[in-house]
Amino acid sequence: MAEITWIKLVTNIYTNKKINQIRKMKNGDSFFTVWICLMCIAGEANDNGNVVIAQDVPYTEEMLASETNEPIGIINDALSLFERFKMIVRADGVIKLINWDKYQNTDGMERIKEQARRRVAEYRERHSEKASGNGSVTECNVTSNVTSNVTRSVTSNVTSNAPVTQCNATDKDKEKEKEKEKEEEEKETTQRKTAPRFTPPTLDEVRAYCEERGNGIDAEQFIDHYNSNGWKVGRSPMKDWKAAVRNWEKNEYRRREPGKEYGPNGIELAPYDPEDPLNGLF
């Protein structure tokens, strides 16, 4: 992942309806700190709003507690609140900020990714050519110098031809490697063309499948999540959306505990508090 050292933050964030309600709650300032931390981590990761420490290594509640210096209870309460406010989703163990591409310069971030990939590719190519070229030249020069110092006879001419043969052999090896790489690329292109193309499901299809399984998953939330990340599972393109639905059923954050109330999307509901300023908003 290419390094990002900045994120966009609107100047009226303190008057935002959701942020304003959050900051008025008990522990609201701590919740706000957690939210800013999530944005910074997502920006640094530069992975479409996913809160990850590295590729396929998501941040856990314990890691966030360490980053923000907040108790684990505050982290759990904050994440549950952000889910209720439709600010994040959690799937496959990964926290993802909703509407990340709407508020951040994702085009600029993608350009940084591409520039980083190019720099790495160019460095490897230069390093490979330099190592191969230096090896051949050194061998030719050393052999030529040694034989010329030992004798000025015909033997020097004969031995000096040997490195040239070695250099030519190295060039042939390079050509063979290039031909092999070209064949592999053509093979991969053919496989991609012949592979069945994945078609994202409609909202009605996901809703019908969830009702059939009786899993309580919010079909709209499922569609929004995968629309936002280009229908990918981790780094790989999705092949079977029904399998993804079944994986959502297995997520630990959706496991229900006896004696607690849950909404239709499987998220635990907070106990009713008559003084909660959010009553009546949901």
Tokens of 71: 């108790």
Please indicate whether residue 232 or residue 104 has the higher confidence score (pLDDT).
232
pLDDT for 152 equals 52
SS3 233: strand
What mean pLDDT comes out for the span 221-228?
A: 92
- pLDDT tens digits along 31-46: 999 999 998 998 888 8
Provide the greatest CA pair distance for the chain.
105
Is the model's pLDDT at 255 over the cut of 60?
no
Is the model's pLDDT at 160 over the cut of 50?
no
The pLDDT confidence band at residue 133, using thresholds 50, 70 and 90, is: low
Q: Is 34 exposed, middle or buried (0-12, 13-18, 19+ CB in 10 A)?
A: buried
User: In the chain, which ranges are continuous DSSP H helix?
Assistant: 17-24, 28-45, 61-68, 72-84, 100-103, 106-150, 154-194, 203-213, 219-228, 241-250
What mean pLDDT comes out for the span 97-104?
A: 81
Tokens of 10: 């609107």
Please indicate whether residue 241 or residue 193 has the higher confidence score (pLDDT).
241
Radius of gyration for the alpha carbons in the chain, expressed in angstroms and rounded? 29
- pLDDT tens digits along 183-199: 888 887 777 666 678 89
pLDDT for 25 equals 95
What mean pLDDT comes out for the span 145-163?
A: 47
What mean pLDDT comes out for the span 92-112?
A: 75
135 Cβ contact list (under 8 Å, min separation 6)? 170
Count of other CB atoms within 10 angstroms of residue 140: 17
- pLDDT tens digits along 41-70: 988 888 888 899 887 799 999 999 999 999
Q: Is the separation of the CB atoms in 53 and 60 below 8 Å?
A: no
Is the model's pLDDT at 281 over the cut of 70?
no
Please indicate whether residue 32 or residue 164 has the higher confidence score (pLDDT).
32
Q: Give bridge partners of residue 149 from the DSSP assignment.
A: none
The C-alpha atoms of residue 48 and residue 50 are separated, in whole angstroms, by: 6
Q: Give rounded-to-5 percent helix, strand, coil for the chain.
A: 60, 5, 30
Is the model's pLDDT at 161 over the cut of 60?
no
pLDDT for 226 equals 93
Tokens of 176: 């063979």
- Computed over every residue of the chain, the mean pLDDT equals 77
The C-alpha atoms of residue 222 and residue 203 are separated, in whole angstroms, by: 9
The C-alpha atoms of residue 34 and residue 71 are separated, in whole angstroms, by: 11
Helix (H) or strand (E) holding 188: helix 154-194
pTM for the whole thing? 0.41
Of 19-33, 247-261, 266-280, the range with the lowest mean pLDDT is 266-280
The C-alpha atoms of residue 125 and residue 112 are separated, in whole angstroms, by: 20
The pLDDT confidence band at residue 150, using thresholds 50, 70 and 90, is: very low
pLDDT for 164 equals 47
Is the model's pLDDT at 223 over the cut of 90?
yes
Please indicate whether residue 111 or residue 41 has the higher confidence score (pLDDT).
41
Is the model's pLDDT at 105 over the cut of 50?
yes
